Copies of this chain bind each other. A is one copy, B any other.
Amino acid sequence: MSATSTEEVTNILREHIMCGQIHPGERLQQERLARALGVSRTPLRTALANLANEGLLQYEANRGYTVRAFDRKDIIDGYAARAVLEGLAASSVATAGIDFSTLEKMERWLDIGDTALAKGKLDPKDIDAYRRMNVCFHDEIIARADNRWISELVRQTQLIPFASNRMIVWQDFDIMYRTHDDHHRILEALKRRDPIRADYLMREHVNFAGEYLAQCIETGRIITAPDVSASTTELVQ
Protein backbone atom coordinates (compact mmCIF):
# COMPACT_ATOMS: atom_id res chain seq x y z
CA MET A 1 0.00 0.00 0.00
CA SER A 2 1.39 3.36 -1.01
CA ALA A 3 -0.38 5.80 1.27
CA THR A 4 0.75 9.37 1.83
CA SER A 5 3.46 10.16 4.36
CA THR A 6 0.87 11.99 6.42
CA GLU A 7 -1.27 8.87 6.77
CA GLU A 8 1.71 6.69 7.59
CA VAL A 9 2.98 9.10 10.20
CA THR A 10 -0.51 9.44 11.67
CA ASN A 11 -0.84 5.69 12.06
CA ILE A 12 2.64 5.24 13.49
CA LEU A 13 2.18 8.00 16.02
CA ARG A 14 -1.30 6.80 16.98
CA GLU A 15 0.03 3.35 17.67
CA HIS A 16 2.91 4.70 19.68
CA ILE A 17 0.61 6.79 21.82
CA MET A 18 -1.95 4.02 22.25
CA CYS A 19 0.80 1.67 23.40
CA GLY A 20 2.06 4.26 25.83
CA GLN A 21 5.45 4.50 24.16
CA ILE A 22 5.02 8.25 24.19
CA HIS A 23 4.04 9.22 27.67
CA PRO A 24 1.06 11.35 28.67
CA GLY A 25 1.88 15.00 29.14
CA GLU A 26 4.92 14.64 26.94
CA ARG A 27 5.50 17.44 24.51
CA LEU A 28 5.93 16.55 20.87
CA GLN A 29 8.63 18.72 19.36
CA GLN A 30 8.04 18.90 15.67
CA GLU A 31 11.53 19.12 14.27
CA ARG A 32 12.86 16.33 16.48
CA LEU A 33 9.91 14.06 15.75
CA ALA A 34 10.05 14.80 12.04
CA ARG A 35 13.71 13.82 11.95
CA ALA A 36 13.03 10.65 13.92
CA LEU A 37 10.31 9.68 11.48
CA GLY A 38 12.31 10.63 8.42
CA VAL A 39 9.85 13.17 7.09
CA SER A 40 9.64 16.93 7.01
CA ARG A 41 7.54 18.96 9.43
CA THR A 42 4.71 19.40 6.92
CA PRO A 43 3.25 15.88 6.94
CA LEU A 44 4.11 15.53 10.62
CA ARG A 45 2.09 18.62 11.48
CA THR A 46 -0.90 17.32 9.57
CA ALA A 47 -0.59 14.03 11.43
CA LEU A 48 -0.42 15.85 14.76
CA ALA A 49 -3.50 17.86 13.84
CA ASN A 50 -5.33 14.63 12.99
CA LEU A 51 -4.42 13.01 16.30
CA ALA A 52 -5.41 16.14 18.19
CA ASN A 53 -8.79 15.99 16.50
CA GLU A 54 -9.08 12.35 17.50
CA GLY A 55 -8.49 13.44 21.07
CA LEU A 56 -5.16 11.71 21.60
CA LEU A 57 -3.20 14.95 21.62
CA GLN A 58 -3.83 18.31 23.13
CA TYR A 59 -3.08 21.38 21.11
CA GLU A 60 -2.37 24.88 22.24
CA ALA A 61 -1.72 27.62 19.73
CA ASN A 62 1.95 28.54 19.46
CA ARG A 63 2.77 26.01 22.12
CA GLY A 64 2.48 22.79 20.23
CA TYR A 65 1.09 19.37 20.90
CA THR A 66 1.23 17.29 24.05
CA VAL A 67 0.05 13.75 24.69
CA ARG A 68 -3.29 13.86 26.46
CA ALA A 69 -3.41 12.29 29.87
CA PHE A 70 -6.36 10.11 30.76
CA ASP A 71 -7.30 9.48 34.36
CA ARG A 72 -9.66 6.96 35.93
CA LYS A 73 -12.66 9.23 35.44
CA ASP A 74 -11.89 9.71 31.76
CA ILE A 75 -11.90 5.97 31.25
CA ILE A 76 -15.11 5.40 33.21
CA ASP A 77 -16.74 8.32 31.41
CA GLY A 78 -15.59 7.03 28.04
CA TYR A 79 -17.05 3.62 28.73
CA ALA A 80 -20.27 5.20 29.97
CA ALA A 81 -20.66 7.05 26.68
CA ARG A 82 -19.68 3.97 24.71
CA ALA A 83 -22.17 1.91 26.71
CA VAL A 84 -25.19 3.92 25.63
CA LEU A 85 -23.97 4.04 22.04
CA GLU A 86 -23.37 0.30 21.81
CA GLY A 87 -26.65 -0.19 23.62
CA LEU A 88 -28.32 1.82 20.89
CA ALA A 89 -26.52 -0.28 18.29
CA ALA A 90 -27.67 -3.53 19.89
CA SER A 91 -31.19 -2.24 20.21
CA SER A 92 -31.23 -1.17 16.54
CA VAL A 93 -29.98 -4.56 15.40
CA ALA A 94 -32.55 -6.32 17.57
CA THR A 95 -35.31 -4.17 16.10
CA ALA A 96 -34.23 -4.67 12.51
CA GLY A 97 -33.54 -8.34 13.00
CA ILE A 98 -30.42 -10.25 12.13
CA ASP A 99 -30.04 -12.48 9.10
CA PHE A 100 -29.21 -16.15 9.40
CA SER A 101 -25.68 -16.10 7.98
CA THR A 102 -24.62 -13.32 10.33
CA LEU A 103 -26.18 -15.12 13.24
CA GLU A 104 -24.35 -18.30 12.36
CA LYS A 105 -21.07 -16.40 12.09
CA MET A 106 -21.54 -14.80 15.49
CA GLU A 107 -22.45 -18.10 17.07
CA ARG A 108 -19.22 -19.54 15.76
CA TRP A 109 -17.40 -16.65 17.40
CA LEU A 110 -19.07 -17.42 20.68
CA ASP A 111 -17.90 -21.02 20.33
CA ILE A 112 -14.33 -19.73 20.48
CA GLY A 113 -15.00 -18.32 23.92
CA ASP A 114 -16.93 -21.40 25.00
CA THR A 115 -14.13 -23.80 24.17
CA ALA A 116 -11.55 -21.54 25.82
CA LEU A 117 -13.62 -21.28 28.98
CA ALA A 118 -14.44 -25.01 28.99
CA LYS A 119 -10.86 -25.69 30.00
CA GLY A 120 -11.52 -24.12 33.37
CA LYS A 121 -8.41 -21.92 33.15
CA LEU A 122 -6.97 -19.27 30.85
CA ASP A 123 -4.57 -20.40 28.17
CA PRO A 124 -2.46 -17.48 26.82
CA LYS A 125 -3.14 -18.24 23.17
CA ASP A 126 -6.84 -18.70 23.90
CA ILE A 127 -6.84 -15.31 25.56
CA ASP A 128 -5.58 -13.58 22.44
CA ALA A 129 -8.08 -15.39 20.26
CA TYR A 130 -10.79 -14.37 22.70
CA ARG A 131 -9.68 -10.75 22.55
CA ARG A 132 -9.88 -10.71 18.76
CA MET A 133 -13.23 -12.49 18.85
CA ASN A 134 -14.55 -9.94 21.33
CA VAL A 135 -13.57 -7.09 19.01
CA CYS A 136 -15.29 -8.82 16.09
CA PHE A 137 -18.44 -9.43 18.11
CA HIS A 138 -18.81 -5.81 19.12
CA ASP A 139 -17.79 -4.46 15.72
CA GLU A 140 -20.30 -6.71 13.99
CA ILE A 141 -23.19 -5.38 16.06
CA ILE A 142 -22.04 -1.82 15.51
CA ALA A 143 -21.71 -2.41 11.78
CA ARG A 144 -25.14 -4.08 11.58
CA ALA A 145 -26.70 -1.09 13.34
CA ASP A 146 -25.95 0.77 10.12
CA ASN A 147 -25.50 4.13 11.80
CA ARG A 148 -22.27 5.82 10.82
CA TRP A 149 -22.39 8.07 13.86
CA ILE A 150 -22.34 5.15 16.24
CA SER A 151 -19.33 3.63 14.48
CA GLU A 152 -17.46 6.89 14.47
CA LEU A 153 -18.28 7.92 18.03
CA VAL A 154 -17.54 4.49 19.48
CA ARG A 155 -14.26 4.47 17.61
CA GLN A 156 -13.35 7.69 19.35
CA THR A 157 -14.14 6.38 22.80
CA GLN A 158 -11.73 3.53 22.07
CA LEU A 159 -8.89 5.99 21.50
CA ILE A 160 -7.62 5.89 25.04
CA PRO A 161 -4.15 4.45 25.60
CA PHE A 162 -4.39 1.09 27.37
CA ALA A 163 -8.16 1.33 27.57
CA SER A 164 -9.34 -0.15 24.30
CA ASN A 165 -10.91 -3.58 24.05
CA ARG A 166 -8.57 -3.98 21.12
CA MET A 167 -5.60 -3.95 23.44
CA ILE A 168 -6.75 -5.12 26.80
CA VAL A 169 -6.40 -8.74 27.70
CA TRP A 170 -8.77 -10.32 30.16
CA GLN A 171 -6.65 -12.06 32.71
CA ASP A 172 -9.28 -13.12 35.19
CA PHE A 173 -11.16 -16.34 34.43
CA ASP A 174 -14.25 -15.33 36.39
CA ILE A 175 -14.46 -11.97 34.67
CA MET A 176 -14.08 -13.54 31.25
CA TYR A 177 -16.70 -16.11 32.15
CA ARG A 178 -19.17 -13.44 33.18
CA THR A 179 -18.34 -11.29 30.17
CA HIS A 180 -18.80 -14.14 27.74
CA ASP A 181 -22.10 -15.04 29.32
CA ASP A 182 -23.13 -11.46 28.49
CA HIS A 183 -22.22 -12.15 24.86
CA HIS A 184 -24.51 -15.15 24.79
CA ARG A 185 -27.37 -13.22 26.32
CA ILE A 186 -26.87 -10.29 23.96
CA LEU A 187 -26.93 -12.53 20.91
CA GLU A 188 -30.01 -14.25 22.31
CA ALA A 189 -31.73 -10.88 22.66
CA LEU A 190 -30.79 -10.01 19.09
CA LYS A 191 -32.11 -13.35 17.91
CA ARG A 192 -35.40 -12.85 19.72
CA ARG A 193 -35.59 -9.28 18.42
CA ASP A 194 -35.85 -7.84 21.90
CA PRO A 195 -34.38 -4.31 21.62
CA ILE A 196 -34.92 -3.39 25.26
CA ARG A 197 -33.09 -6.39 26.61
CA ALA A 198 -30.35 -6.04 23.98
CA ASP A 199 -29.95 -2.43 25.04
CA TYR A 200 -29.62 -2.92 28.77
CA LEU A 201 -27.51 -6.06 28.41
CA MET A 202 -25.05 -4.27 26.16
CA ARG A 203 -24.97 -1.19 28.37
CA GLU A 204 -24.22 -3.22 31.44
CA HIS A 205 -21.70 -5.31 29.53
CA VAL A 206 -19.74 -2.25 28.44
CA ASN A 207 -20.07 -0.38 31.72
CA PHE A 208 -18.85 -3.41 33.61
CA ALA A 209 -15.81 -3.64 31.35
CA GLY A 210 -15.07 -0.01 32.07
CA GLU A 211 -15.30 -0.44 35.81
CA TYR A 212 -13.16 -3.56 35.72
CA LEU A 213 -10.59 -1.90 33.51
CA ALA A 214 -10.34 1.17 35.72
CA GLN A 215 -9.80 -1.12 38.66
CA CYS A 216 -7.09 -3.02 36.80
CA ILE A 217 -5.30 0.18 35.92
CA GLU A 218 -5.34 1.32 39.52
CA THR A 219 -3.88 -1.96 40.72
CA GLY A 220 -1.41 -2.03 37.85
CA ARG A 221 -2.77 -5.24 36.34
CA ILE A 222 -2.67 -4.21 32.70
CA ILE A 223 -1.44 -6.42 29.93
CA THR A 224 -1.67 -5.37 26.32
CA ALA A 225 -2.01 -7.57 23.31
CA PRO A 226 1.38 -8.58 21.89
CA ASP A 227 0.60 -7.97 18.23
CA VAL A 228 -0.38 -4.40 18.88
CA SER A 229 2.59 -3.20 20.87
CA ALA A 230 5.03 -4.99 18.57
CA SER A 231 6.52 -3.75 15.31
CA THR A 232 7.08 -0.24 16.55
CA THR A 233 10.37 1.57 16.54
CA GLU A 234 11.62 3.86 19.23
CA LEU A 235 10.92 7.52 18.68
CA VAL A 236 12.01 9.26 21.82
CA GLN A 237 15.41 8.95 23.40
Chain A interface residue count, Cβ-Cβ cutoff 8 angstroms: 32
A42-57 CB contact bits vs B (8 Å, 1 = yes)? 1001100110011100
A78-104 CB contact bits vs B (8 Å, 1 = yes)? 101110110110001000000000000
In the complex, the chain B residue whose C-beta lies closest to that of A156 is B153
Report the bound CA distance from A87 to B85 in whole Å: 11
One complex includes copies of this chain to the number of 2
In the complex, the chain B residue whose C-beta lies closest to that of A61 is B4
Chain B residues near A230 (CB, 8 Å)?
Answer: none
Residues in chain A within 8 A of chain B (CB atoms): 3-4, 7, 42, 45-46, 49-50, 53-55, 61-62, 74, 77-78, 80-82, 84-85, 87-88, 92, 147-150, 152-153, 156-157
Chain B residues near A81 (CB, 8 Å)?
Answer: 85, 88, 147, 149-150, 153
Chain B residues near A62 (CB, 8 Å)?
Answer: 4
In the complex, the chain B residue whose C-beta lies closest to that of A82 is B149
Taking a contact as CB atoms closer than 8 A, the residue among B3, B7, B49, B78 that contacts A46 in the complex is B49
Chain B residues near A74 (CB, 8 Å)?
Answer: 148-149
In the complex, the chain B residue whose C-beta lies closest to that of A160 is B149
Report the bound CA distance from A55 to B149 in whole Å: 10
**Are A55 and B147 in contact, with the CB atoms below 8 A?**
no
Report the bound CA distance from A62 to B153 in whole Å: 26
Chain B residues near A78 (CB, 8 Å)?
Answer: 149
Report the bound CA distance from A47 to B141 in whole Å: 34
